[in-house]
């Protein structure tokens, strides 16, 4: 198993980072929250989980070991593959997922694309004793009440967009952030900002 990759960030895309390790570019599937912590040309270290299939080897990357562990534990539930597990971590931090499971919060799980009411009920039953208790304060991807503009702007610059493009994208998603009631999630806003930039090109 590849436990982590450490090297220079060679490329960034909406769902992938390429980290140069010993002259080899390792493509790592990441959530927007994880990508927002990376910068082109800068050193990075990502905890990783290698998913082996008959026709592919896919490396998933995470900001820390806790996020990777939750990613792997989520897949012990029936019907949860790596893509759905990653989608869950794109919407919620590990601790937010632990709190949702512990509280039986169906709505939190239904907020994840690909999970319906029945699926949420099933996951609550299967994961109840697997994720453990919340371990700390909200981390990357948790609701941010201040500074979301700065975080989003920095993430877009890190993805290689010009300052002007980043400014316009931040302005474009501002109504969505305000509609979130003062608790916008930077990861979700990044997805929306990238969509507006792709349409503009």
pLDDT in tens, 146-187: 467 777 777 777 677 778 888 888 888 888 877 766 556 777
136 within domain boundaries: no
50 within domain boundaries: yes
**Domain finish residue from 62, 90, 107:** 62
- The token duo for 188 is 């979700």
Q: What is the distance between the alpha carbons of residues 113 and 84, in angstroms, rounded to a whole number? A: 8
Do 23 and 39 sit in the same domain of this protein? yes
pLDDT digits 0-9 by tens, 3-32: 999 999 999 998 899 999 999 999 999 988
CATH number at residue 184: 1.10.8
Mean pLDDT of the chain: 84
143 within domain boundaries: no
38-42, 130-134, 136-140, 185-189: which has the highest mean pLDDT?
A: 38-42
- Give the mean model confidence (pLDDT) for residues 121-142: 71
C-alpha distances in angstroms, 58 versus 42, 53, 128, 166? 23, 8, 28, 30
Structural domain boundaries enclosing 19:
4-62
Query: Structure pTM?
Result: 0.66
Do 15 and 52 sit in the same domain of this protein? yes
Query: Is a pLDDT exceeding 60 seen at residue 138?
Result: no
Do 58 and 69 sit in the same domain of this protein? no
Residue 146 pLDDT: 40
Q: Is residue 120 left, alpha or beta, with left meaning phi > 0 and alpha meaning psi from -120 to 50?
A: alpha
Choose between 142 and 74: higher pLDDT. 74
Domain tally, the chain: 3
Do 48 and 77 sit in the same domain of this protein? no
Residue 185 pLDDT: 73
């Amino acid at each position: 198993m590849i436990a982590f990759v450490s090297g220079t960030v060679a490329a960034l895309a909406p769902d992938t980072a390429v980290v140069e390790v010993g002259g080899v570019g390792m493509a790592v599937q990441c959530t927007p929250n994880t990508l927002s912590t990376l910068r082109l040309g800068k050193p990075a270290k990502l905890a990783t989980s290698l998913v082996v299939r008959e026709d592919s080897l896919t490396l998933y990357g995470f900001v820390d070991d806790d996020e990777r562990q939750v990613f792997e534990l989520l897949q012990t539930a029936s019907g949860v593959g790596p893509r759905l597990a990653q989608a869950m971590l794109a919407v919620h931090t590990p601790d937010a997922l632990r709190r949702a499971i512990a509280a039986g919060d169906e709505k939190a799980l239904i907020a994840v694309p690909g999970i319906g009411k029945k699926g949420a009920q099933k996951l609550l039953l299967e994961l109840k004793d697997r994720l453990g208790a919340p371990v700390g304060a909200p981390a990357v991807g948790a609701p941010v009440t201040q500074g979301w503009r700065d975080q989003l702007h920095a993430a877009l610059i890190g993805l290689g967009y010009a300052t002007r493009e980043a400014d316009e994208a931040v302005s474009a998603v501002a109504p969505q952030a305000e509609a979130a009631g003062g608790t916008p999630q930077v990861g979700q806003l990044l997805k929306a900002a990238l969509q507006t930039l792709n349409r503009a090109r």
